[in-house]
Amino acid sequence: MSGAFDLDPRLAGDTFVVGDLPLCRVLLMRDARYAWLVLVPRRAGLTEVADLPAEDRATLWREVDRAAEALRAVAPCDKINIGALGNVVRQLHVHVVARVEGDAAWPGPVWGFGVAEPYGDGAAENRIVAIGQWLTRFGGSQPAGDGSLPPP
């Protein structure tokens, strides 16, 4: 677990950066069909939740809870789905997805279902700002012009 934290290229390509919580980088999936966050512990070489020290595991689940609360606040939903699959991207990451009865994949899982739909003009930015503002209440930070958003 030594070394620098690097975000897996597939995660980087599939997401926008929302900001950082004390342990995790918070990402928004580039799929407008769902309010979908991905939390990635900023620790090198992790593939399983069990790879985290006990204190970091506890922090991870607190941050997952905060992400779920943020999603419920900005994207009202019927259910929150949480999963740490890692079958395609080995780097430890946790999906937190706000589900609405009747959404594109309901009642099945969102993973691997259909084709991602891009956000419309300004929609991703608006969602990132709303979630980021909510998360800053809990020690999170938002990116500052890091180029993670597409040009207008």
Pairwise CA distance, residues 79 & 72, whole Å: 9
Q: Where do the H-state alpha helices sit in the chain?
A: 9-14, 54-74, 123-136
- What's the pLDDT score for residue 138? 67
Domain range for 93? 9-136
Asked if the structure places residue 108 within a domain, the reply is yes
- Residues 66-92, mean pLDDT to the nearest whole number: 95
Asked if the structure places residue 147 within a domain, the reply is no
What is the count of structural domains for the chain?
Answer: 1
Asked if the structure places residue 151 within a domain, the reply is no
Asked if the structure places residue 145 within a domain, the reply is no
Asked if the structure places residue 2 within a domain, the reply is no
Asked if the structure places residue 144 within a domain, the reply is no
Does the pLDDT at position 142 exceed 80? no
| Torsion angles phi and psi, residue 81, rounded to 5 | -100, 135
Q: What is the pLDDT of residues 27-51, one digit of tens each?
A: 999 999 999 999 999 999 999 999 9
Q: Which residues contact 96 (CB under 8 A, 6 or more apart)?
A: 36, 37, 38, 39, 64, 67, 68, 71, 80, 81, 82
Q: What is the pLDDT of residues 96-129, one digit of tens each?
A: 999 999 999 999 999 888 999 999 999 999 999 9
Asked if the structure places residue 1 within a domain, the reply is no
Pairwise CA distance, residues 11 & 38, whole Å: 9
pTM check: above 0.85: yes
Does the pLDDT at position 64 exceed 90? yes
Domain CATH for 35: 3.30.428.10
